[in-house]
Structure 1
């Protein structure tokens, strides 16, 4: 048989999924590994989906998505962050942020173009760059600096092949929220070297210690920035698969072109549910964010009390404690914690070299389970 695609064949399976597969075969496991809200989608959003199904909204929409949804997304960005995009020509509804990332990379990159990715980072970033024909280039961040992106470190990685910088803020896996000054420095660097910026802002509403900075709203950023967002996290709509891209018209137009041939459109019912989410579910989002914040404070305090240093996560729903005091590498720590105490976490090494010495713990689970997980983790540490 002729060989299959070499780039895809060389891509390793997700390091997160391996631990989920082990945990699925065990009893009484507390999972702190899933990056998914434990809330059910708020009722008013589900009801909108039910109404749409009952009334036969089961057809395709336009390739770019429902005009009303695009209008609401652009109005929300303008009101919340003063980031201004045309719903008609600069906004596209995608099948989740994952598709949005894929579209952006395919449109921006030519074969061999380099994309700088500060790490630790979401596990899909590097494979998606490679799948689009690009070359991912890692640059480190450190927990001592709050995982802030250094423009100087990024600058040192720029070559004549560099095309873009890909970031996520608030970040998965660290929970770091990039300081405005760090993003402003990154924009200046992008202007100097004529680079695109791809900003994954799916966790923008989940911030606790300071305001979120929308990259597309910064001076000089708009014409070179592709914003990615969606409804999975703050609105607890992971399974509905609705995301969006906002970008300059030339970029958005080509994203729609790829989208119309590969996905055609995001699900009609899901788009109508997203309209309801933006129109009427703000109180639900506020309540869920407040609950995450309570869990965050309890969980981080608990981690520190059992002897794990933990930077305060400013956003998302992840804690990224250091496990260096255990004497174990992150993969061994996660494997033994799962087998000996039935607590599933993700080794930091799967998110890049800077993640070694850490584990990712999602606190998007019920508070009693978080407290039980802390007890088990404490027992594990005492046994070492």
Structure 2
């Protein structure tokens, strides 16, 4: 019966990140610097709120958009943190993780032959959904621009078919963010154009050298903001995402969300409510630890003679291969075989990621030190 499967589904593949992670998982003695999974536990008070929700039988459906108390908290959180104003009752949707938020946003705004401009390299979760919508992903090469997805780069890729620009910052896999000035220039370019902006800001609380600024501050009517608690509060498994958009857009996205998951899990919503109120600054001590790790990893990579840009945010380094004679996949595979340390091939982040590998520093200093020792030993071998 496989020949009857939707052609668009057959043409997409499992994420290259997961593919490589699954391939090395379970190998004895393996150090994995692959997945973007915070190594901190969910804060205790947030876990207690989840337990309390169960004990108090808060286990039924909520409003499709999410419990109103959580939406009010999310609205207040965005106002305090980023000076964004969204109406809790009509412009906030609680989703089953940021991934579902991305899915329902694309399915609402895209049609057959629509074009979506993405920075290349980029997180691999966008392209499959775009293609399932019958739309076309258009990659903008940002490799020679310091991995910065700026207005001058975007402008050269806009056509009459352009329906959406994806602004994922801080970026996965590069860790690069965008400055206020760069966002203002993008806003000036796109203002009054019939083009949506999907601003994936899931790492907004993990920006190290400056304050995160949202493009929704300047171009609210065209922007759909994606956020959530997975990275900021180490709540990946709770699956709570947040979508913010003007009511004229949000009311249509809500319809797709309703027929997709009905509502996000009620128990997780109560944990999220605690996170966004009593735990609104829980990310700060985590960010301090990540900053220390970032600086350590950067210094080690530079000492190895590797070409890399210091990330502004998130918890990744995107490192140029020390040799041009192998593909990123083969380099990473050989690193696994010879040194038992796993990183993600750059090719997992589109063809524009070829020639690089991604290293996650969302793990202990002890793990990073040993992992980098092994990488250094392998780099010395390949450099001869």
Give the TM interval when normalised to the shorter protein: over 0.9
The answer on whether the counterparts of 2:70 and 2:273 sit within 8 Å (CA) in structure 1 is yes
* CA spacing shift, 1:212–1:158, aligned 2, 3 Å: same
Deviation track 1:199-224 (CA, whole Å, cap 9, x = no partner) reads 00000000101111111112xx1000
Structure 2 stretches lacking a partner, 5+ long: none
SS of 1:149's equivalent in the other structure is: coil
Shift of residue 183, structure 1, vs aligned partner: 1.9
Which runs of at least 4 in structure 1 moved beyond 6 Å after TM superposition?
none
Give the alignment of 1:41-190 within 5 angstroms.
Answer: 41-142=42-143, 144-190=144-190
Query: CA separation in 2, counterparts of 1:135 and 1:354?
Result: 17
- C-alpha root-mean-square deviation of aligned residues, in Å? 1.3
CA contact (8 A) 2:91 2:250 kept: yes
Q: Which residue of 2 aligns with 1:297?
A: 295
> Which residue is equivalent to 1:15?
16
Does the 8 A contact of 2:324 with 2:355 survive in 1? no
Which residue of the partner structure matches residue 338 of structure 1?
Answer: 336
CA displacement, residues 103-136 of structure 1 (integer Å, 9 cap, x when unaligned): 1001111221111111111111111111122111
In the aligned structure 2, how far is the partner of 1:327 from the partner of 1:308? 15
Q: Deviations along 1:263-308, whole A, 9 cap, x unmatched?
A: 0000001000001001112453211111111111111111111221
> Do the aligned partners of 1:310 and 1:320 also contact (CA within 8 Å) in 2?
yes
The answer to whether the 8 Å contact 1:148/1:179 transfers is no
State the Cα distance separating 1:328 from its structure 2 match. Answer: 3.2
Correspondence for 1:277? 275
Larger CA deviation: 268-277 vs 127-136: 127-136
Contact 1:35-1:364 within 8 A present in 2 as well:
yes
Distance 2:14 2:69 in 1: 38
Q: Distance in 2 between matches of 1:21 and 1:80?
A: 36
The alpha-carbon deviation at position 356 of structure 1 amounts to 1.8
Aligned to 1:226: 224
- 2-structure distance, mates of 1:291, 1:199: 26
- 1:339-382: per-residue Cα shift (whole Å, max 9, x none)? 11011100112112322221100000011000001100011111
Give the Cα–Cα distance (whole angstroms) in 2 for the partners of residues 379 and 49 of structure 1: 45
Are the counterparts in 2 of residues 259 and 265 from structure 1 also a CA contact under 8 Å? yes
Q: 2:322 touches 2:379 (CA, 8 Å); kept in 1?
A: no
- Inter-partner Cα distance in structure 1 for 2:147 and 2:181: 14
Instruction: Please name the residue that 2:29 is paired with.
Output: 28
Secondary structure at the residue paired with 1:197? strand
C-alpha distance in 2 between matches for 1:71 and 1:192: 30
Q: In the alignment, is the contact (CA less than 8 A) between 1:148 and 1:182 conserved in 2?
A: no
Report deviation, 1:325.
Answer: 4.3
Gaps in structure 1 of 5+ consecutive residues: none
Q: What are the within-5 Å matches in structure 2 for residues 318-337 of structure 1?
A: 318-325=316-323, 327-337=325-335
Residue by residue over 1:234-282, the C-alpha shift from the partner in whole angstroms, topping out at 9 and shown as x without a partner, is: 1000000001110011211111111111100000010000010011124
Q: Give the 3-state SS of the residue equivalent to 1:74 in structure 2.
A: helix
Q: CA deviation at 1:329?
A: 2.7
Count of aligned positions = 381
Cα distance 1:342–1:326, how it changes in 2: closer, same or farther (>3 A)?
Answer: farther
Q: TM-score, structure 1 length as denominator?
A: 0.96
CA drift at 1:326: 6.2
Is 351-360 or 197-206 further displaced after alignment?
351-360
SS in 2 for 1:320: strand
